[in-house]
Amino acid sequence: MFKFEILKECTKTEARLGRIHTAHGTIETPAFMPVATQGSVKAMTPKEIETLGFEIVVVNAYHMYLRPGHRKVEELGGLHKLMAWNRSILTDSGGFQALSLSKVRKIKEDGILFHSHLDGSEHFLTPEKCMEIQDSLGTDIMMCLDECPPFPSSYGYMEKSVDLTTRWANLCKQAKIEPGKALFGIVQGGVFRELREKSALELLKIDLDGYAIGGLGIGECKEETYQIAAFTVPYLPQEKPRYLMGLGMPEDIVEAVSMGVDLFDCVLPTRNARNGTLFTSHGKMVIKNAHYGEDESPVDKACECYTCRTFSRAYLRHLYQAGEILASRLLTLHNLHYYGWLMKQIREALGRGEFSDLKAKFQTVGGLKESCED
């Protein structure tokens, strides 16, 4: 039972307030999806993720296929039961990981031949196999297999890649999918606008349940990322969810929401936390810096998360420097609380008709700092 509805649209931007309905509940959009790559959001429990306000997570099909195996997950009752997560799950196809993690891989017309990064065993990921894996996992939203070329890539290579991605999306659509699950296509084309247009228009003919913009944030400058995303979004159906893959800086999210994007995912809040970098209402904070060693104030006085209400910067720095597991727990909790808070602020601003004011505040604080000449 997949359904998307638009509740309200911004009059000054393309932003929209909406809802996605799946068999595992409702997702208020715009929404950020924490990344649970191997069936777990690092350092967090499922209950904590839900308490922070998240209604959907992203799990990677490649990793679950290699370990513990998609059939094993199916035997154990599916991802939802295995993870003890009763809300929605989106699974990435695994195509990017098959290309990026394997030292030995080859792209063929009918799939990706690769060697496991775990034990070197050989595997062949086809569109049909991709659907079989995701279907066995019991996901709510499945992604079509696509090729994500490296940056930079020539126009000729990128054009062939777009054609391959379209053919694979057709095969994914034709593969048997359990009723009620959604299938999203991925628009590719690199930084070439005519190829982005071609990719989007060809995918529209397949009539998928939602559309993602892939292949950005992998080397091009931020200004170009924004330009390509803004160019691509209008080609995607108004009545279906739009998903910008892999971009997750707070300013990126606000900017993309203004373009009409509904879904986001990124490892930034969790990875940065494990590396000692925190997102706050006054910008980024690197807690491992020495000058926080005697700082008794919280990370962010405006934040109401458990970490900020309970511990000082000095203690958090001590935990990080000592390599304590608790550091990852507390810092990740804060960052995800910030992202949950940010998405709630965006949705509430849209509901009040004040999103353009919220966007202006972000532009004043930082906004687009990077240019293609940097």
Write out pLDDT tens, residues 158-212.
Answer: 999 999 999 999 999 999 778 889 999 999 999 999 999 999 999 999 999 999 9
Residue 359 in any domain: the answer is no
- Whether residue 94 lies inside any domain: the answer is yes
Domain assignment present for 145: yes
> Within a domain: residue 360?
no
> Both 98 and 198 in a single domain?
yes
Phi, psi of 172 (to 5 degrees): -65, -40
- Residue 364: CB atoms within 10 A of its CB come to 8
CATH code of residue 210: 3.20.20.105
Cβ atoms of 43 and 51 within 8 Å: the answer is no
Average pLDDT estimate for 90-103: 86
257 and 282 share a domain?
no
pLDDT of 365 strictly over 70: no
One domain for residues 130 and 247: yes
Last residue of a domain, one of 239, 265, 291: 265
Q: For residues 72-93, give the mean pLDDT.
A: 98
30/26 Cα distance (integer angstroms)? 12
**Which residues, in sequence order, are bridge partners of residue 242?**
211
Q: Provide the token pair at 157.
A: 């290579």
Catalytic residue ranges: 92, 265
- Is residue 338 situated within a structural domain? yes
Map 22-84 to HEC letters: ECCEEEEECEEECECCCCCCCCCCHHHHHHCCCCEEEEEHHHHHHCCCHHHHHHCCCHHHHHC
Total domains in the chain come to 2
Mean pLDDT confidence for 45-51: 98
**Residue 251 in tokens:** 């300013």
Query: Alpha-carbon distance 161 to 111, whole Å?
Result: 12
Average pLDDT for residues 284-308, to the nearest whole number?
Answer: 97
Is 45 in the same domain as 118? yes
The predicted-structure confidence for 314-347, as pLDDT tens digits, reads as follows 999 999 999 999 999 999 999 999 999 999 999 9
| Assigned domain for 194 exists | yes
Q: Is the pLDDT of residue 123 over 50?
A: yes
> Same structural domain for residues 253 and 299?
no
Write down the pLDDT at residue 179: 84
Which CB contacts under 8 angstroms, 24+ apart, belong to 286-293? 287/313, 287/316, 287/317, 287/320, 287/331, 288/317, 288/320, 288/321, 289/317, 292/316, 292/317, 293/317, 293/318
pLDDT over threshold 80, residue 147: yes
d(CA 196, CA 65): 30
Q: Are residues 50 and 130 in the same domain?
A: yes
User: 40 lies in a domain?
Assistant: yes
Assess whether 20 and 168 both reside in one domain: yes
Q: At what angle do helices 155-174 and 127-137 cross, to 10 degrees?
A: 50
Look at residue 368 in the predicted model and tell me its pLDDT: 32
Q: Is residue 134 located within the same domain as residue 24?
A: yes
Q: Are residues 261 and 278 in the same domain?
A: no
Would you say residue 361 lies in a domain?
no
Which residue range(s) make up the domain with 60?
3-265
* Co-location of 187 and 319 in the same domain: no
> Do both 319 and 174 map to the same domain?
no
Domain check: are 323 and 209 in the same one? no
**Of 367 and 80, more confident:** 80
